[in-house]
Amino acid sequence: MSYLLEALGRGLLTNLRSAFENQLPHTAEDELPDLQARAAASPSSKDLAMRLGMACLRESRLSRAREAFERASELDKTGTQALLGLASVYDDLGQVPRALDYLRQAQTRDPGDAAVVFAIAFSLERLDRAAEAKAAYQQAIDLCPQLRNAYERLAAIALRERNCAEAVVQYERLVEMEPGDLEALLTLGNLYLQADRPAEAIDQYQQALFIEPETDASGVVAEGLADEGCLHEAIHALEKLARRYSGVAPFHVQLGDLYVKAGHDAKAIEQYQSALEAQPSFLEATVKLGTQHMRQGRFVDAAITFNRAVELNDRLITAFVGLGVAQHACGREQESLASFDLAASLEPSTTLLFSESARLHLQTERHTETMPTGDEPDDSAVAVGHDELVEEALRRHRQALAGTPGHADLHYRYGLLLRQVGRLGEATEAFRRAVAINPHYSKALVKLGICLKEAGQVDEAVETFQRALRLHDKYVDVHYQLGLLFAQRAQFDLAVEQFEQAVAGNDRNIAFQANLALALQNIGLVDRAAATWRSICELSRGDPDILTVRERILRDSEKH
C-alpha cells in the first residue's frame, strides 16, 4: 500500500503511562513486595504510595495500582501526579472516558503541562471526537512547539478527513524543525504528489536522496595511513576523531573497518553500532554490521541486521521511484526514466540481502542439527554451498504457497528469491500474484514496476509506480482505526483473540492473521525487519502449521 499509510501510525502512544514516565516517581530498583511493606508502614507517604502504584501498574496489577494512586491523591490535593497515575490505570483498563476525566483534572491544576494536553488530545482522538482532538493537539503545540507527535497526529487526522493540504502543512512544519529527517522528507514528497504538486515533490525527494552523513578530510588521512600499513597509527588517529566528533557517523564506520582489519571484533561491532546511534538510516553502517556478524558466525544477528538494511535500501528505492513519478507528472520524461533506472540499480541489493537472510537462517538451522549437545555454533561448523541454501529457501516458499496461495507477502518474498537466482520472468509473475491478492501492496508494486521497466514495458511500469505511491481513500479509514486500536494493546489483543475463536478451524483465521500483520507493517506499527525474520523462521523444516504462527508477529512486535 502507499507509503503514506505510515503517516497514519505515527505519533501514537502505546499507553498513557509512557507519556508521563518522567513525571511519576519510580526507580528501577523498586520491588513490589518491599514497596507494599514500606507503604503499609508509612501510610502518610505520598511518594511511597506513588511508587507502589507505578510498580503495580508495570506488573498490570491494576486494582492495586488504583488503590495506591487513590491513596496518593488523598495525600496531595493540589498536585497532578496521582491524577496522572489514575488516568494511566483507566487507560490500561480500556476505560478512556474515565482516563480523560482524570487528565482534565490534572490540566486544571497545571494548565501548562504539554504532555497532559497531548494525552487529552490522544484520548479525544480515540473517542472519535476529532474536532476537539485537533484543538487539543494544537494547544499542546502552542505549549511545546517541538512536540513532534502532535504534528504527526494532526497529519493523520487530516489524511483521514481527506484533507491532504492540511497534512502537507503539518509535515512542512516537521521538515522545518528537522531538515535532515529522511522519513519526514519522504512523507512530505509523497504528500505533495497526492496533492498534485509534483514540482514541490521533486524538491523534497531530491533533498531526501542527497542527505549525506557529515564527514571530514581527517578520515581520509586515517584511511591513507591504514593503506600504507600503519594500521595502529590509523586506528589511534580515528579513535581521537570519533571521540571528538561522536555524532559523525562515518568516523565510526571507518574506525570499525580498521578494527575489522586488526581482528578486534567487539570493537568493530561497537563502532558500527555507534554510527547507527548517530544516524539510524545509515545503510553502509547497517550492511557492515551485518557482514561482521556473518564473518564471526553470528548468523541470526547477521540475518536480522541484513533485514534492517533491506528496509533502508527499499526506502531509497521508494525515494527514486517517487522522484521519477513526480518528474513524469511534470513532463520531464528523460529525467523520470533516469530516476527509475536509479531505483532499479538499487534493487539488487534488496534481493541479495533478503536471500542472505534466508540463507543464514538455513545455515543456522543446519548448524544446530549437526552440533554435538552443549556445543556453540562457530563459523566453521558446516560449510554449505550458497546456491544450495538459496534453492532450499525457494523450495520452502513453493511448499508454503502450495498450501496457502492467498498470501501476498509469501509471493513477494518468493519473487525476491527468484530475482536473486536470475529467474526474472518467474519473479515478475510472483510480484503480479502478490499485487493481485493485495492491489495496493506498495513494495510488491515497486518491485513489479522495476521488473516491467527492465523488460521494456515502460508505460505499464510507470503506471505501476504511480499505483505504488497513490493513497486510496477506502483504505485510509481502515488503517487509521487499526492504528488507534493497536495503541490500546489490551483491547487489540482481545479483539484478535475473539476473532480467532470465532473462526477456529477455518482458513479465514490464517488469512486474517497474515493480512493483519501486513496491515500493521503498512502503518509502521510492526518492526518490518523483525517481522521479515519471523516470516523466514516460519518456514522452518518440520513446522506443520506454517502460517498460524503469525500470531507471534502480532503478540511480540513493537513500534519501530
SS3 state at 262: helix
Q: Of 470, 502, 533, which residue constitutes the final position of a domain?
A: 470
Q: Of 248, 271, 294, which residue constitutes the final position of a domain?
A: 271
Whether 279 is in a domain gets the answer no
d(CA 178, CA 182): 9
> Are 415 and 482 part of one and the same domain?
no
> Are 367 and 439 part of one and the same domain?
yes
Cβ pair 96, 129 in contact under 8 A: no
> Are 438 and 526 part of one and the same domain?
no
Cβ pair 191, 3 in contact under 8 A: no
> Are 372 and 428 part of one and the same domain?
yes
- Distances in Å between the alpha carbon of 208 and those of 73, 148, 175, 541? 49, 19, 11, 42
Cβ pair 57, 65 in contact under 8 A: yes
The CATH number of the domain holding residue 267 is: 1.25.40.10
d(CA 363, CA 382): 8
Cβ pair 480, 471 in contact under 8 A: no
Please, which residues have CB within 8 angstroms of residue 334's CB and are 6 or more apart in sequence?
none
Whether 128 is in a domain gets the answer no
d(CA 358, CA 485): 32
> Are 259 and 184 part of one and the same domain?
no
> Are 442 and 503 part of one and the same domain?
no
Position 272, amino acid: Y
Cβ pair 392, 365 in contact under 8 A: no
Count of structural domains within the chain: 4
Whether 51 is in a domain gets the answer no
Phi and psi, residue 293, nearest 5°? -60, -40
Whether 236 is in a domain gets the answer yes
> Are 189 and 221 part of one and the same domain?
no
Cβ pair 552, 536 in contact under 8 A: no
Ramachandran assignment for 363, one of left (phi > 0), alpha (psi -120 to 50 degrees), beta (any other): alpha
Whether 507 is in a domain gets the answer yes
Phi and psi, residue 204, nearest 5°? -70, -45
d(CA 407, CA 438): 9
> Are 202 and 246 part of one and the same domain?
no
Whether 43 is in a domain gets the answer no
> Are 537 and 480 part of one and the same domain?
yes
d(CA 175, CA 156): 16
Please report, to the nearest 10 degrees, the dihedral formed by the alpha carbons of residues 46, 48, 49, 55 taken in order.
150
Whether 458 is in a domain gets the answer yes
d(CA 256, CA 247): 15
> Are 368 and 466 part of one and the same domain?
yes
Whether 327 is in a domain gets the answer no
Q: Of 449, 470, 491, which residue constitutes the final position of a domain?
A: 470
Cβ pair 174, 145 in contact under 8 A: no
* Residue 62: all three cell numbers together: 491494576
Domain ranges, residue 186 = 162-210
d(CA 49, CA 42): 9
pLDDT in tens, the chain (560 residues): 467 888 998 998 888 888 887 888 867 677 788 888 988 899 899 989 998 989 898 888 999 999 999 999 999 899 999 999 999 999 988 899 999 999 999 999 999 999 999 999 999 999 999 999 999 999 999 999 999 999 999 999 999 999 999 999 999 999 999 988 888 999 999 999 999 999 999 999 999 888 755 444 445 555 555 555 688 888 888 888 889 888 889 889 999 999 999 999 999 999 999 999 988 888 999 999 999 999 998 988 898 899 899 989 998 999 999 999 999 999 999 999 999 999 999 999 999 988 888 888 787 776 655 545 444 444 443 344 567 888 988 999 998 888 888 888 889 999 999 999 999 999 999 999 999 988 878 899 999 999 999 999 999 999 999 999 988 777 788 888 888 888 776 666 655 555 455 545 555 455 556 666 667 777 776 666 666 666 666 665 444 343 333 334 334 444 33
pTM (2 decimals)? 0.82
DSSP 282: -
d(CA 63, CA 61): 6
> Are 429 and 373 part of one and the same domain?
yes
d(CA 482, CA 475): 11
